[in-house]
C-alpha cells in the first residue's frame, strides 16, 4: 500500500503522512503490519477524521481494522493538505464551516491542536482552544517549572499555564515528554501535585497522556539497590587493612550503619564502638541533630601517654587518634564527598530560591563611593522586604542637583560583595574567617553582613568565594563538629605560639612555652598541667578552638541569623557540596569561548563586526590586548564573573554606527562599533574599555577622599 517491500523497515513510511520518521514523542509509536505491508504512526491513525476503532486491541493495528485503514487512506487521497499542498490529508478541523485538512506532522508544524480524549477532535490554528488569563498580571519572564528555562508568561501554543497553580508555566514540549514518561497515574502539576484538574486542562490543550504506568515503574529492577544493605566504612581514616568494604559480622570489623539515615557506615573499630548496640550517627545527620537542638556535647577524656602522632597527621587535619571518640560527629569526611544524598546543581538551587522574589519593587539609593553604608541604610529601612524586586539608583553625595542614575542590580551586588570580603568583619588572606570586632557586634553588623550575602545570592549576585573551609563547616555542621587548622589563624603572635607548641621536642620545651605565655593562656582558659609531651596536641587544639571558634561565638551566631534570610542557610545545610563550590572557591577563569557563548546577538547589521568581536576575544585571551576578559565583562555588565544563577537579562551584543563601544549595564548589552578593519576595531575597544574602567575607579577614589 505504501510502495515498500515487506520487512524493509528502514524505508517504510506512514501511509497517512508519508513520513518515515520514527519519533514516538511527536508522532506516536511507528508500527508495521507485515502481512498487509501497512505502516502507520499511532497519532496519525488515532487523529484521522474518518476512522473508528471497531476491533479489539490485538486486531489489525491498535484495534483499527485493516479494511478501515485502507478506506481512510483512500478517502484522504482525495483531500489536499492546506499546509504542504499534497494529498493524503486525513485530519480535518472540527470547527463548523472550517474546511481545512492536513497531515498530522503538518498540523504540528502549523500549530494545530489535537485532543487525545473523547472523540479525538482536531482544531486548526484559527479555531484551536486557548487559555484565558487576566492581562498584565505578569510583566517579566518566569521559569518553566520543568526545565527552569525562562519564558514569557503569555499563553500561546508553545507556552501553557497550570490551571491549579497560577504562577506555574510550562513549555508544551516539556509537558508532553513528562506526560509520556509519567503516564496517566503519575502525570500531575509539578507545583501542587493536583492530577484531576491538571490532566483535564492538559487534555483540552492537546497533551497526550498515555494510559500506562510510569516509565520508571516499568524498568526492570529499577529499585533493586533499595533492597541492599549499605556496607561501606565512610569515616575519614578507615583503620581496616582489608579496605572500606570489608565486613565481618560479630567482630570489630563489622560495619554499623547510621541510626538516622542508614546510608553511611563505619567499622566498629574505626569509630571506637565497643559493641553493635552502641548508637552511631554519620556527620551529616549529627550536624542536623546539632542544629535542631538535640546535640549534646561529648564528655572529655584524659589522654593516654602512648602512640605519639605527628602534627601533620592529627592536629592540622583531624582530632588525635588517641582521643576516645564516642561519636564520629567530630570527624569530617572530605568535603567533595559530602552531600552525596543531595547532589544538585548550584544554579538550579539558587534559581529555586529566586522564586520567592515577588513583582513589587523596592528602590535602593546607592552611593558607589560609600557602598556599604548606603546598602546598610537601604536594607535596614522599615519598608524594605528581602523578597521585593530590587531596583538600584546611583546617586552622588556631593551632587547638589540630586541627579539619579539608573543602576545595575548585579553591578551593585558585585561591588557590595567585594567590599564585604575586604571589610573588618573578616580576617585572613584568601580564605577568611570572622573577626572579633566589639563595635561591629554592638551595631549588629555581622547580622547585616549575613543578610546581605543571602540577599545577594537570591537576587542574582556573585559567588562569595572567600570563606575558609572551617567557617563553612561551622555553618553547615555546627562549631562543635568543626576542627580548625593552623591556616585559620591570622594573628601572627597566636600563630607563633601554636608553632612553638607543635614543635616542642620535650616536656621542658613545652613548659617553657607555657611559662612565657602564661598570661595569655590563663586569659583564654587554656592553662593545663603538662605531664607528657603528648599533652601538646590537646593544648594546641584548645588554643586553636578558642581563637578560631569560641572567641568569635557572638559574631558567628549573629552572622548565622542573617544568613537565614530567604531560607539561604537552610539550603546551605541541605546541599553543602553545592554551596561549598561558591563559598570557598572563586569562579572559574573566563575564556574567549565562555564570553562568546555568553553574549547573544540580538541585532547584527554588520556580519564583519561579529568576526572582529570573536577575534578580539581571542586576542585578549592570548594577552595581545591591554584589556582582560574580566574588563570586558565589567564594561558590559558590571560583574567580573558569571553569577551562579546567571545573568538576567542575558548579555547581548549589537552593532551600531558609533565611534566607540557602549556598555549598558542595566540591560547587560554591549554595543560594538562598526569599523572597516580589525585593527581599528581593537583600538576602539581597548581605548573605551580601559579608560571607562579607569575613570570609574578614579571617580570612586575621588569621592572617598572627599
CATH number of the CATH domain containing 65: 3.30.40.10
For residues 601 and 581, state if they share a domain.
Answer: no
Across the range 621-636, mean pLDDT stands at: 91
Domain contains 298: no
Across the range 668-677, mean pLDDT stands at: 89
Domain contains 576: yes
Within 8 A by CB and 6+ apart from 430, the residues are 466
CA atoms within 13 A on the CB side of 566: 25
For residues 393 and 491, state if they share a domain.
Answer: yes
Cα torsion through 38, 44, 45, 51, rounded to 10: -120
Domain contains 564: yes
Listed residue (170, 197, 13) closest to 105, CA to CA:
13
Domain contains 672: yes
Across the range 261-271, mean pLDDT stands at: 87
CA–CA distance, 459 with 389 (Å, rounded to integer): 8
- pLDDT tens profile 291-321: 655 444 333 333 333 333 333 333 333 333 3
- Residue 241 in this model has a pLDDT that exceeds 60: yes
pLDDT of residue 430: 82
Residue 2, C-alpha cell as written in the block:
505504501
- Residue 597 in this model has a pLDDT that exceeds 70: yes
Which of 53-62, 84-93, 145-154, 600-609 tops mean pLDDT? 84-93
CA–CA distance, 651 with 601 (Å, rounded to integer): 9
**pLDDT band, very low/low/confident/very high, at 260 (cuts 50, 70, 90):** confident
Share of the chain above pLDDT 90, in %: 43
Across the range 151-156, mean pLDDT stands at: 88
Long-range contacts of 70-73 (CB under 8 A, 24+ apart): 70/1, 72/16, 72/48, 73/1, 73/15, 73/16
Q: Which residue has the cell 519519533?
A: 23
DSSP 415-484: HHHHHHHTSTTEESSSSBEE---HHHHHTTHHHHHHHHHHHHHHTT------B-HHHHHHHHH-GGG---
Residue 592, C-alpha cell as written in the block:
574567549
Within 8 A by CB and 6+ apart from 618, the residues are 592
Q: What is the DSSP letter of 398?
A: T
Give the 3-state secondary structure of residue 390: strand
User: Which domain, by its residues, includes 604?
Assistant: 592-702
Higher-pLDDT residue of 16, 3: 16
Higher-pLDDT residue of 299, 640: 640
For residues 279 and 380, state if they share a domain.
Answer: no
CA distances, 387 to each of 261, 357, 390, 514, 575 (Å): 34, 4, 9, 53, 22
Domain contains 324: no
**pLDDT band, very low/low/confident/very high, at 110 (cuts 50, 70, 90):** very high
For residues 247 and 101, state if they share a domain.
Answer: no
Across the range 339-361, mean pLDDT stands at: 77
**pLDDT band, very low/low/confident/very high, at 139 (cuts 50, 70, 90):** low
Q: Give me Rg for the CA atoms of the chain.
A: 33
Q: What is the DSSP letter of 577?
A: H
**pLDDT band, very low/low/confident/very high, at 339 (cuts 50, 70, 90):** very low
Listed residue (326, 321, 257, 253) closest to 285, CA to CA:
257
For residues 582 and 596, state if they share a domain.
Answer: no
For residues 491 and 549, state if they share a domain.
Answer: yes
Domain contains 55: yes
pLDDT of residue 291: 60
**CB–CB of 125/138 below 8 Å?**
no
For residues 353 and 492, state if they share a domain.
Answer: yes
For residues 581 and 602, state if they share a domain.
Answer: no
Q: What is the DSSP letter of 590?
A: P
When divided into structural domains, the chain yields a total of 5
Range with the poorest average pLDDT among 98-107, 253-262, 312-321? 312-321
For residues 578 and 612, state if they share a domain.
Answer: no
DSSP 226-269: GGSPP----SSS---TT-TT---TTSTT-EEE-TTTSS-EEETG
- Residue 217 in this model has a pLDDT that exceeds 90: no
End-of-domain residue from the set 533, 557, 586? 586
Across the range 537-546, mean pLDDT stands at: 91
Listed residue (324, 310, 320, 334) closest to 269, CA to CA:
324
**CB–CB of 88/76 below 8 Å?**
yes
End-of-domain residue from the set 551, 586, 621? 586
- pLDDT tens profile 427-458: 988 899 999 999 999 999 999 999 999 999 99
Domain contains 13: no
For residues 361 and 501, state if they share a domain.
Answer: yes
- Residue 662 in this model has a pLDDT that exceeds 60: yes
- Residue 211 in this model has a pLDDT that exceeds 80: yes
pLDDT of residue 584: 93
Across the range 230-241, mean pLDDT stands at: 86
- Residue 325 in this model has a pLDDT that exceeds 80: no
CATH of the domain at 385: 3.90.1750
End-of-domain residue from the set 586, 601, 623? 586
CATH of the domain at 637: 3.30.2410.10
Across the range 117-143, mean pLDDT stands at: 82
Q: Which residue has the cell 554591549?
A: 670
Share of the chain above pLDDT 70, in %: 86
pLDDT of residue 6: 40
**pLDDT band, very low/low/confident/very high, at 379 (cuts 50, 70, 90):** very high
pLDDT of residue 341: 35
Query: What's the chain's average pLDDT?
Result: 83
CB crowding 620-638: b at 16 or more within 10 Å, else e: bbeeebebbbbbbbbbbbb
Higher-pLDDT residue of 371, 311: 371
For residues 62 and 196, state if they share a domain.
Answer: no
**CB–CB of 391/666 below 8 Å?**
no
Domain contains 301: no
Please give the angle made by the CA atoms of 357, 359 and 361, to the nearest 5 degrees.
Answer: 95
Cα torsion through 314, 316, 317, 320, rounded to 10: 20
pLDDT of residue 335: 35
Active site residues: 666
- Residue 559 in this model has a pLDDT that exceeds 50: yes
Across the range 90-111, mean pLDDT stands at: 93
**CB–CB of 179/210 below 8 Å?**
yes
For residues 450 and 567, state if they share a domain.
Answer: yes
Amino acid at each position: 500500500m505504501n510502495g515498500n517491500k515487506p520487512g524493509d523497515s528502514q524505508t517504510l513510511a506512514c501511509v497517512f503522512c508519508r513520513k518515515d520518521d520514527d519519533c514516538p514523542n511527536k508522532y506516536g509509536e511507528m508500527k508495521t503490519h507485515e502481512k498487509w505491508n501497512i505502516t502507520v504512526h499511532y497519532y496519525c491513525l488515532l487523529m484521522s477524521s474518518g476512522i473508528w476503532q471497531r476491533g479489539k486491541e490485538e486486531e489489525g493495528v491498535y484495534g483499527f481494522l485493516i479494511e478501515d485503514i485502507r478506506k481512510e487512506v483512500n478517502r484522504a487521497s482525495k483531500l489536499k493538505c492546506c499546509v504542504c499542498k499534497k494529498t493524503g490529508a486525513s485530519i480535518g478541523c472540527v470547527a463548523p464551516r472550517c474546511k481545512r485538512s492536513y497531515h498530522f506532522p503538518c498540523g504540528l508544524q502549523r500549530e494545530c491542536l489535537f485532543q487525545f480524549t473523547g472523540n479525538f477532535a482536531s482544531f486548526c490554528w484559527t479555531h484551536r482552544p486557548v487559555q484565558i488569563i487576566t492581562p498584565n498580571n505578569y510583566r517579566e519572564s518566569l521559569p518553566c517549572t520543568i526545565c527552569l528555562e525562562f519564558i514569557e508568561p503569555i499563553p500561546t501554543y508553545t507556552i501553557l499555564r497550570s490551571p491549579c497553580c497560577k504562577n506555574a508555566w510550562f513549555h508544551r514540549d516539556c509537558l508532553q515528554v513528562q506526560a509520556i514518561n509519567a503516564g496517566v497515574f503519575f502525570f500531575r502539576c509539578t507545583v501542587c501535585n493536583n492530577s484531576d484538574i491538571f490532566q483535564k486542562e492538559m487534555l483540552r490543550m492537546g497533551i497526550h497522556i498515555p494510559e500506562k504506568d510510569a516509565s520508571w515503574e516499568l524498568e526492570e529492577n529499577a529499585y533493586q539497590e533499595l533492597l541492599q544493605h549499605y556496607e561501606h566504612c565512610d569515616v575519614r581514616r578507615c583503620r581496616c587493612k582489608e579496605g572500606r568494604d570489608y565486613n565481618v559480622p560479630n567482630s570489630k570489623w563489622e560495619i554499623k550503619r547510621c541510626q538516622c539515615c542508614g546510608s553511611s557506615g563505619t567499622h566498629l573499630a574505626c569509630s571506637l564502638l565497643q559493641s553493635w548496640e552502641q548508637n552511631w550517627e554519620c556527620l551529616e545527620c549529627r550536624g542536623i541533630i546539632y542544629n535542631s537542638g538535640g546535640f549534646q556535647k561529648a564528655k572529655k577524656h584524659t589522654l593516654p601517654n602512648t602512640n605519639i602522632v605527628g602534627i601533620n597527621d592529627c592536629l592540622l587535619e583531624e582530632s588525635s587518634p588517641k582521643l576516645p571518640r564516642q561519636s564520629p560527629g567530630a570527624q569530617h569526611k572530605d568535603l567533595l564527598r559530602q552531600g552525596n544524598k543531595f547532589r544538585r546543581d548550584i544554579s538550579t538551587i539558587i534559581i529555586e530560591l529566586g522564586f520567592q522574589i515577588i513583582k513589587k519593587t523596592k528602590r535602593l539609593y546607592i552611593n558607589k563611593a560609600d557602598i556599604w553604608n548606603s546598602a546598610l541604610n537601604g536594607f535596614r529601612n522599615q519598608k524594605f522586604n528581602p523578597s521585593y524586586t530590587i531596583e538600584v539608583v546611583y546617586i552622588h553625595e556631593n551632587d547638589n542637583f540630586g541627579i539619579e542614575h539608573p543602576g545595575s542590580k548585579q553591578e551593585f551586588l558585585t561591588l557590595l560583595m567585594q567590599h564585604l570580603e575586604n571589610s573588618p568583619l573578616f580576617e585572613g588572606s584568601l580564605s577568611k574567617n570572622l573577626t572579633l570586632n566589639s563595635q561591629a557586634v554592638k551595631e549588629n553588623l555581622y547580622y547585616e553582613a549575613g543578610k546581605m550575602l543571602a540577599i545577594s545570592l537570591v537576587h542574582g549576585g556573585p559567588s562569595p568565594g572567600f570563606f575558609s573551609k572551617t567557617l563553612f563547616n561551622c555553618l553547615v555542621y555546627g562549631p562543635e563538629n568543626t576542627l580548625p587548622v593552623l591556616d585559620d589563624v591570622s594573628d601572627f603572635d597566636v600563630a607563633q605560639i601554636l608553632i612553638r607548641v607543635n614543635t616542642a621536642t620535650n616536656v621542658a620545651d613545652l613548659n617553657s612555652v607555657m611559662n612565657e605565655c602564661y598570661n595569655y593562656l590563663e586569659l583564654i582558659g587554656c592553662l593545663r598541667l603538662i605531664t607528657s609531651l603528648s599533652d601538646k596536641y590537646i593544648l594546641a587544639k584548645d588554643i586553636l578552638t578558642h581563637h578560631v571558634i569560641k572567641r568569635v561565638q557572638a559574631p558567628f551566631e549573629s552572622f548565622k541569623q542573617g544568613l537565614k534570610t530567604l531560607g539561604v542557610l537552610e539550603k546551605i545545610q541541605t546541599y553543602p557540596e553545592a554551596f561549598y563550590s561558591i563559598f570557598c572557591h572563586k569562579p572559574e577563569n573566563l575564556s574567549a569561548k565562555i564570553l562568546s557563548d555568553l553574549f547573544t546577538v540580538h541585532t547584527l547589521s554588520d556580519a564583519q563586526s561579529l568576526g572582529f568581536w570573536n577575534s578580539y576575544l581571542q586576542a585578549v585571551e592570548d594577552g595581545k590586548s591591554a584589556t582582560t576578559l574580566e574588563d570586558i565583562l565589567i564594561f558590559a555588565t558590571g560583574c567580573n564573573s558569571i553569577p551562579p544563577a546567571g545573568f538576567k537579562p542575558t548579555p547581548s551584543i549589537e552593532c551600531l554606527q558609533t565611534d566607540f563601544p557602549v556598555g549598558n549595564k542595566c540591560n547587560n548589552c554591549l554595543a560594538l562599533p562598526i569599523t572597516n578593519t580589525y585593527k581599528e576595531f581593537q583600538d576602539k575597544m581597548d581605548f573605551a574599555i580601559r579608560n571607562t574602567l579607569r575613570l570609574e575607579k578614579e571617580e570612586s577614589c575621588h569621592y572617598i577622599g572627599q
